[in-house]
Amino acid sequence: MRQTTLTRKAVGAGLLALVLLAQASMAFIPGRMAVRTLFQPLKQHQASRVVLSMAEAIEIAMPALSSTMTEGKIVEWTAKVGDKIKAGQTIMVVESDKADMDVEAFEEGFLAKIVFGDGASAPVGATVALLAKSKEEIPAVQAMTPGASPATAPAAAPAPESSAPAGGGASLGVPTNEIAMPALSSTMTEGKIVEWTVKVGDKIKAGQTIMVVESDKADMDVEAFESGYVAAILAKAGEATPVGAPCALLVDNEADVEKVKAALASGASVGGGASAAPASPPPEAAAPPAAANAPSKPTFDFAEVAMPALSSTMTSGKIVAWTAKVGDSVKAGQTVMVVESDKADMDVEAFEGGVLASILTGEGDSAKVGDPVALLAAKKEDVPALQAYGQALKASLSGAPAPAPADSAAAAPAPAASTPVAATAASPPGERVVASGYAKKLASEAGVDLRSVPGTGLGGRVVGANVIAAAAGKPMAKPLGYRSPPGSATPLAKRLAAEAGLDLKSLKGTGEFGRVTADDVLIATGKKSPVKKQAAGGRTGPVKAPKPAPGPMPTGTKPMDGMMKAVAKNMEKTLDVPIFRVSRLITTDKFDKMYAEVKGQGVSVSALLAKAVAKTLERHPILNAAYDPAGAIKYNPDINIAMAVALDGGLITPTLRNANAMDLVSLGGKWRELVKKAQEKRLAPDEYTTGTFTISNLGMYGVSAFDAILPPGQGSILAIGGSIPTVVVRKDGSFAVQKQMTVTITCDHRHIYGADAAEFLRDLAELMEEDVESLLD
């Protein structure tokens, strides 16, 4: 969403001319939204004078819902002109090349104008609607033309007619198709080509991967939309290219490849008259007044480490930790900091190599997306000067005088000797693997564990050639069961270890997924004896140890982190939804027997429950549907089961997509992968925001029954209690002991009724009690 800022004030005739001149301007801030100013004068007669009032509007743009999306079709608007819109409210449903997705408003206001109606398509980034700041300004905003120049602005000269095809190539003598740098995220402005998977002269097909591009989020494969022969590669591997700029040229005939080569060698232009050589940069815009006292940039080579956009709505990020310190040598691809978004803590890598000379934003501080947070020097001897520049830059941003630069000669390391790139050792278990998108794809297809592959790319990155060599040389090792990364511990264990001065990474955890528990810390510090097994009645079992003494009670007010705030916001949204609950007992003897049989194949109870619920939802699509505020029911084509996972200081719901269509073993493996990512706080947005039905299971804590809160945007959530041995009376009057659990479903009563929920629970119970073998289908 782009904000169009229009201030309300009285202006004279001379100021009006300046306003109309400024109307045609467009400012762009790297990593942020484009900001365009549109002015709509409103005549108001006051005491025989004409006062010009400026209305304020906000542009709603067509978002990029996938990495290959270039335009989107508006399936429907869920709000109408005149409606009051809240930030976070769904305002339209857009059809991309992947799926229909709800699009939310980032700002509050009144829907004043719909530029593209239901069924219309718009390019990514195009304005599809306008919001007014107040209801009174709706008529003025309706009179605006989004993106248009004022009537007084001179018209642009018409482009000369050309008979060349749309793909360009008029100056090359043959028709060509351009392969452009795609927008891999809604905030991406440029992309770095990690590697080309094709070369000049190759014949390619539509849908074939041709290059791997590094965006602000990940390395992604880019496919060709057209078939043909690669005639020229305009952007080399390792180069950054603006979104939309041509990266390569395709021709229809193989014979035309040499013609394009010859034309480019003679200085011919590409596309609509642009030279094949990089265009000269536009003149720099005048610096804003706030930057008037900013220090002059050094003339030597250096690089800025900027705050990245970790999600499409992120405007600022908090630095959790710096993994490099001032004076360290940093390689391209090396993790330099950990940034907290509203969902997860994510590692941020350096795109350039150098020496970390200055940290502009410290741990615990926040910075706006696109703002520099650190400076890298290309050469050791430039470190002191770059540190002085960094201190002056921080002072100019804060308004404080720059402190005298500290002596940094000792901090700067000696330059490394120039040596050929050697393969790095394979990554040890628990450490993050850095690999190109192409290498990841090859590894997936060949069944190669990337952790066992030495990398020869930049910074030890695993590239495609490494995977090919590994696949040819040795078989894939079976993946190990998931264990938490070194140092993962419960909150109480962390506090006890800090008090004792103990390094958590030195301890072997005995908790779930290898997590360090409070008992592990107490045993390591000698405050508790290890649990021993002893013989008792011919059996051995653990001796129950006394519970550790509780820690000190927390006091005062503690700020919530980003994840806590996101959970709180979602919980508040549920207050406006009318809900009801239905409970039922389910006998789990056969289900438990099935779990014992598949447990050895890596299938957990959670995966088994997800499969059972997903198969039942096939017969009850209304429980998988969501209420549409426009007065409709939105049926989801896929059954995506989200399951709540508790984290330190938060909660997240990793999603098993198309759970009904996956086999049990695959489902179990996918769930282990999602849990691992959740605990390491590196889930991708589509791995926790695409759920259509949620399961919350507290049975492992001994909870007999509970009610769950309905997540926003879903129709149902199922709460699972513990399985408890219970004496029951059979139909023949005899007594028996059966294991039973209580399940409680919470539903949106606007489109789901009591009978719907009861029938769903009846069929779920029938499957788990009588037809559990169907889960193997």
Read off the pLDDT of residues 380-433 as tens digits, 9 standing for 90 and up: 899 999 998 888 888 776 655 544 444 443 344 434 333 333 444 555 554 556
**Model confidence pLDDT, tens digit, residues 633-652:** 999 999 999 999 988 767 88
CATH of domain 491-542: 4.10.320
Angle (CA) 105-56-2 rounded to 5° is 40
Q: 616-648: b or e for each residue (b if 16 or more CB lie within 10 Å)? A: bbeebebbbbbbbeeeeebebeebbbbbbbeee
Asked if the domains 170-273 and 294-398 are classified in one and the same CATH topology, the answer is yes
**Model confidence pLDDT, tens digit, residues 80-136:** 999 999 877 889 888 866 567 778 887 889 999 999 999 898 887 788 999 898 888
* CA proximity to 181, closest of 63, 331, 47, 70: 70
Q: Please state, in angstroms and rounded to a whole number, the distance separating the CA atoms of residues 606 and 69.
A: 34
> For residues 299 and 413, which has the higher predicted lDDT (pLDDT)?
299
Q: Does domain 170-273 have CATH number 1.10.3720.10?
A: no
Q: Please state, in angstroms and rounded to a whole number, the distance separating the CA atoms of residues 654 and 650.
A: 13
Q: Please state, in angstroms and rounded to a whole number, the distance separating the CA atoms of residues 302 and 360.
A: 14
Task: Kindly tell me if the per-residue pLDDT of 287 is higher than 90.
Answer: no
- pLDDT computed for residue 156 by the predictor: 36
- Cβ atoms of 238 and 193 within 8 Å: the answer is yes
Mean pLDDT of 240-257: 87
* CA proximity to 168, closest of 245, 235, 221, 237: 245
- What integer best gives the mean pLDDT of the chain? 76
CATH topology of domain 426-480: Dihydrolipoamide Transferase (4.10.320)
Task: Give the DSSP H or E segment for 495.
Answer: helix 491-500
CATH classification (class only), 2-142: mainly beta
749 in active site? yes
* CA proximity to 715, closest of 747, 745, 690: 747
Q: Does domain 294-398 have CATH number 3.50.50.60?
A: no
Q: Name the residue ranges covered by the structural domains of the chain.
A: 2-142, 170-273, 294-398, 426-480, 491-542, 562-776
- Cβ atoms of 31 and 187 within 8 Å: the answer is yes
Q: Please state, in angstroms and rounded to a whole number, the distance separating the CA atoms of residues 311 and 275.
A: 35
Angle (CA) 678-681-684 rounded to 5° is 75
Task: Kindly tell me if the per-residue pLDDT of 694 is higher than 90.
Answer: yes
Confidence band (pLDDT; 50, 70, 90) for 160?
very low
For every residue of 261-296, DSSP letters joined together read HHHHHTT-EETTTEESSPPPPPPPPPPPGGGTTPPP
CATH classification (class only), 562-776: alpha beta
* CA proximity to 634, closest of 744, 745, 750, 718: 750
Q: Which residue among 45, 620, 749, 751 is the active-site one?
A: 749
- pLDDT computed for residue 338 by the predictor: 83
